[in-house]
Amino acid sequence: MNISFTKSGRLKPKPSSEALGFGKLTTDYMFIMDYDAGRGWYDPKIVPYSPIPLDPSTCVLHYGQGIFEGLKAYRSPDGRVLLFRPEENARRLNNSCDRTCIPPLDENDILEAITELVRLEKDWIPSAEGTSLYIRPFIIATDPFLGVHPSRTYMFIIILGPVGNYYPTGINPIKILVEDEYVRAVAGGTGEAKTMGNYAASLKAQDKAEKLGCIQVLWLDGIHRKYVEEVGSMNVFFKIGGKVITPALSGSILPGITRMSSMELLKKHGYGVEERALSIDEILHAHKTGTLEESFGTGTAAVISPIGELLYKGSNYMVNNGAIGPVTSMLYDTLTGIQSGRLPDEFGWTFEVK
């Protein structure tokens, strides 16, 4: 790709690592590429970060034809810039394109765009433990047309921002609401695509969870309200009787890259991992009989987040006495160690931006 570059006249001050949080800051530049049905994807450019003017009748503003990805760039102790399995994000972006009638991109172009932008903005990558540069590629449908129809024009944009912990509680165990009223997705819907509407659909339950003192929602399946699916911004795992179980990708669950990597790490460390339907009743039975050992969520933004308590139908269920369990700790340490270049990468997961 021939990516054009427009220099910014004024660069923002870089923040200190202490109070980064998640999603509050953006860097100086962004990547944009346009699509037109007649030309395909064209005009890749890196330009100063700025608002994008949109016609009020723009398709994405009305019908949500838009998708996104999330990945991170890390600064290793020896100063290298590392991405974690970015080719998986490129592949998933195209899968989300397919589900939402957005024309696919060349996956090498996606990687090149990410790499070029991160290289340019590498001074924004924080180096304190638990921090990184979050990368948010997204595509929006830009036709100014109010008919319900796939757009003929799109924008592929990548923005960046330095981040710390996703949850204000840091890596302390979180309390989640097992949601039995609202549903996020059903098989055949858009649950396995990273499309904007899935997140809009989650807000009502998220709001309810927060009012009940929980940080996120554990979704149950949309048909029986029985099988666990995923947590707000993460996939979910439960350790029961020595086995680590995560819901199988049934069509309504996001195929997480941290989920996939965690399963590979667990297998390597000798844990039995089961991907299968897991009912809330089985989890509560395990709680009752003392075999519910640990629970955690996995996600790019949330990394590995221990779950210390479940709230279901008005009753609270502590997991591992609300403490971080050994498997959760091992996964957090190993995964963040590999991602940030502090541990050797035997899997070949990291990708150096040179």
**Would you give the binding string for ligand COI spanning residues 10-39, x where CB under 6 A is met?**
------------------------------
For residues 94 and 101, the answer to whether their CB atoms sit within 8 Å is no
Nearest residue (CB) to ligand COI, 240 versus 265 = 265
For residues 206 and 217, the answer to whether their CB atoms sit within 8 Å is yes
Terminal Cα distance for the chain, rounded: 17
**Would you give the binding string for ligand COI spanning residues 294-333, x where CB under 6 A is met?**
-----xxx--------------------------------
Among 165, 206, 233, 350, binds ligand COI (CB under 6 A): 233
Nearest residue (CB) to ligand COI, 15 versus 70 = 70
CB of 242 to ligand COI, least distance (A): 28
| Window 165 to 184, contacts with ligand COI (CB under 6 A) | none
For residues 141 and 154, the answer to whether their CB atoms sit within 8 Å is yes
- The residue number whose beta carbon is nearest to ligand COI equals 70
Distance between CA atoms of residues 59 and 85, nearest Å: 31
CB of 220 to ligand COI, least distance (A): 19
Size of the site for ligand COI (CB under 6 A): 6
CB of 301 to ligand COI, least distance (A): 3
| Window 188 to 207, contacts with ligand COI (CB under 6 A) | 199
CB of 226 to ligand COI, least distance (A): 25
* 341 touches ligand COI by CB under 6 A: no
Collect contacts of 48-54 with beta carbons under 8 A, ≥24 apart. 48/6, 48/7, 48/8, 48/9, 49/8, 49/159, 52/155, 52/157, 54/142
Q: Which amino acid is located at 14 in the chain?
A: K
Report the relative pairing of strands 40-48 and 4-5 from DSSP bridges.
Answer: parallel
What's the Cα-to-Cα distance from 306 to each of 167, 204, 205, 327, 330, rounded to whole Å?
11, 23, 20, 10, 11
What's the Cα-to-Cα distance from 208 to each of 53, 222, 229, 311, rounded to whole Å?
34, 18, 18, 12
CB of 266 to ligand COI, least distance (A): 19
CB of 263 to ligand COI, least distance (A): 17
Q: Which burial class, exposed, middle or buried, applies to 224 when counting CB atoms under 10 A from its CB (0-12, 13-18, 19+)?
A: exposed
Distance between CA atoms of residues 216 and 230, nearest Å: 10
CB of 201 to ligand COI, least distance (A): 12
| Window 234 to 253, contacts with ligand COI (CB under 6 A) | none
| Window 54 to 83, contacts with ligand COI (CB under 6 A) | 70
**Interface with ligand COI by CB under 6 A: which residues?**
70, 199, 233, 299-301
